[in-house]
Structure formats: structure tokens, C-alpha cells
């Protein structure tokens, strides 16, 4: 069997784009053979809501919650202790952890990479990787039962970690992560870009890693176009009704609208006029579900 279609879920901002709820909706409507993480380490977090219960993962793909093979790709950085703790947690909750596998050439974060309790060791591990001095998952005995020794096939969902503006190349360097957050890096899993069917991009309306601010359309348009996003989801739109002020940033200016409907129409028109690959625009006002996918 060969790879048929690839859908990619990525963040268009910095953090907290609520990718988990998109992934949950995609699982309801599409059938996937694999869910894969293509980059990052355990510093990020995905939140999945199942039957009213919330589950969090940091490195293991969310397919495990739905009985789908969940693969950690070669551009990820794995801390054995963190990974095995997640496995233990998932087993305790009754999930099938035999579905979880790691590419044999995924790099391992060692104790020497971790400088303090707040440091996940990703940048140090990345340095070892590009110095050609890293340790691979296939070389670690405690991971031998989790090594992925087959090939991907069928339909694949790729989960991103962190957002566009934390990308090592496109982000606000040096305030970035030490890995690739853009969808093109998902090809490191072993498929050509022609297999990509849809790129789902998410952004939180109040997304900003340093200060809470209005949605910056200048930056969003840029991240949509560079990432190749085809389906965009703008979350947290419901918070505007609580504030009673309806603004966004465009042309480096705060633009105020009369109502939330007016604001959504303005944003939608700007995206349509400036992002020619976009096929769908969704405003999400629910922290747990996205109904329009």
C-alpha cells in the first residue's frame, strides 16, 4: 500500500490555537490510517475532549485517543522520560499504547541537554543533531518496543506543534523554537508535497506570545500564504462579545467595527482578497468543537 492523501493541521500564530478541537472534528468526519507528529518536542501541548473529559499530550499524537496508529516523526525531539510517562498515563486511562510508535531516526533528548527544570532540552538536542553527534531512538533499548519499522500508507493526518511565528526560519528569531513549525516540514515523514490534500491552519483571535492584542491580519495573511493554508479556523471569537469592542489590525492600524458580524465579514473579505489558496474560513466560538469542518 502507498500513501494516498495527507491532511496537515498547523498553527498560524504563536501558541494556544486550540488545534486539539480541530483534530477531534476531523476524526469524526474523515478516516485516517495514521496520525503523525512531524516536529517539536514535549514543550507544547494538545488538549483532546472526549465524552466530556479532557486529555493532554505533549509528544504523542492524538490518534491514540481514537484507536488510530500514532507516529512520532524524525524531525521531533523525544525525551525518553517524558515519553514513557505519557505512555504510562495513557495506559492507566485505558488507551491502546501499542498504537504509538517512533521513527527510528528520531533524535533523543538526553539529561545533558536539559539545563534546568524549565528547559526541555530541545535546542541542545537540535545542536547535537546538526553537529551529527545526536542519539537516535533506534539506539535506545528502553524504546525498542516503540520503534516504527514499517512504512506509512493510506490517509494520514499530520499534527503540528506550536505556531507559525515560532518557526526557526520564518519566526521572530531568536524568540523561536529549534524546529520547523511550517507544514512543508511534514514531508520529513516520507511523502512528496503532491500528496497534501488540505492544510488546516488555526489562529486564536487574541493570539500573541508577549501581549494580548487584537488579531493581526497583516501577520495572519502572511502566515496563511507562506504556509499554504487551505482551510482557516479563527478561534475565540466569542470573547469579543464579552468585551463589547470589535477590532482587528490591518495595515499596522487598529480597525474598529460596529458589531461582531461586521468584524467577521471584514476579516473574511480581507482573507479572500489576499489569500488565494484559502477554500474555507471558519470562525469558532466554542472552546471544544468546530462544527463546520
User: 185-223, pLDDT tens digit by residue?
Assistant: 999 999 999 999 999 999 988 865 446 688 999 999 999
Q: What is the DSSP letter of 247?
A: E
Q: Does domain 3-201 have CATH number 3.40.440.10?
A: yes
What pLDDT is recorded for position 5?
Answer: 97
CB within 8 A of 19, min separation 6: which ones? 9, 10, 11, 46, 159, 160, 202
Q: pTM to 2 decimals? A: 0.93
The pLDDT assigned to 291 comes to 62
Of 51-55, 117-121, 271-275, the poorest mean pLDDT is in 117-121
Band of residue 238 on the pLDDT scale cut at 50, 70, 90: confident
Residues contacting 26, CB < 8 A, separation 6+ = 7, 9, 32, 157, 200, 293
Percent composition of the chain: helix, strand, coil (DSSP 3-state, to 5): 35, 25, 40
Q: What is the pLDDT of residue 208?
A: 56
Question: For position 289, what pLDDT does the model report?
Answer: 64
Burial of 175 from C-beta contacts in 10 A (0-12 / 13-18 / 19+): exposed
The pLDDT assigned to 41 comes to: 86
Q: What is the pLDDT of residues 146-169, one digit of tens each?
A: 999 999 999 999 998 888 999 999
* Backbone phi and psi for residue 83, each to the nearest 5 degrees, phi listed first: -60, -50
Q: Are 4 and 273 contacting, i.e. CB atoms less than 8 angstroms apart? A: no
Q: What is the mean pLDDT of the chain?
A: 90
Question: What mean pLDDT is predicted for residues 7-28?
Answer: 84
> Average pLDDT for residues 76-84, to the nearest whole number?
94
What sign has the CA pseudo-torsion 228, 234, 235, 240?
A: positive
What local confidence, expressed as pLDDT, does residue 210 receive?
47
pLDDT at 288 over 80: no
On the question of pLDDT at 239 being above 70, the answer is yes
Amino acid at each position: 500500500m502507498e500513501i494516498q492523501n495527507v491532511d496537515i493541521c498547523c498553527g498560524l500564530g504563536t501558541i494556544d490555537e486550540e488545534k486539539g478541537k480541530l483534530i477531534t472534528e476531523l476524526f469524526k468526519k474523515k478516516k485516517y490510517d495514521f496520525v503523525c507528529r512531524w516536529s517539536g518536542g514535549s514543550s507544547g501541548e494538545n488538549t483532546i475532549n472526549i465524552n466530556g473529559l479532557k486529555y493532554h499530550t505533549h509528544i504523542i499524537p492524538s490518534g491514540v485517543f481514537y484507536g488510530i496508529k500514532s507516529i512520532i516523526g524524525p524531525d521531533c525531539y523525544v525525551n525518553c522520560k517524558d515519553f514513557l510517562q505519557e505512555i504510562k498515563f495513557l495506559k492507566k486511562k485505558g488507551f491502546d499504547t501499542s498504537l504509538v510508535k517512533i521513527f527510528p531516526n528520531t533524535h533523543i533528548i538526553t539529561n545533558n541537554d536539559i539545563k534546568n527544570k524549565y528547559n526541555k532540552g530541545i535546542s541542545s538536542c537540535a545542536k547535537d543533531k546538526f553537529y551529527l553527534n545526536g542519539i537516535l531512538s533506534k539506539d535506545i533499548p528502553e524504546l525498542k518496543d516503540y520503534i516504527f519499522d514499517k512504512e506509512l500508507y493510506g490517509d494520514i493526518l499530520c499534527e503540528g506543534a506550536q505556531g507559525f511565528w515560532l518557526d526557526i526560519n520564518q519566526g521572530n528569531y531568536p524568540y523561536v523554537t529549534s524546529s520547523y513549525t511550517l507544514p512543508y516540514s511534514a514531508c520529513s515523514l516520507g511523502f512528496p508535497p503532491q500528496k497534501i490534500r488540505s492544510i488546516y491552519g488555526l489562529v486564536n483571535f487574541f493570539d500573541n506570545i508577549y501581549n494580548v492584542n487584537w488579531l493581526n491580519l497583516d501577520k495572519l495573511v502572511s502566515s496563511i500564504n507562506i504556509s499554504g493554508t487551505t482551510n482557516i479556523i479563527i478561534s475565540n471569537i466569542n470573547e469579543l462579545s464579552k468585551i463589547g469592542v470589535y477590532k482587528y489590525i490591518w495595515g499596522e492600524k487598529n480597525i474598529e467595527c460596529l458589531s461582531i458580524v461586521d468584524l467577521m465579514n471584514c476579516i473574511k473579505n480581507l482573507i479572500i482578497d489576499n489569500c488565494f489558496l484559502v477554500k474555507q474560513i471558519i470562525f469558532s466560538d466554542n472552546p471544544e468543537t468546530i462544527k463546520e469542518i
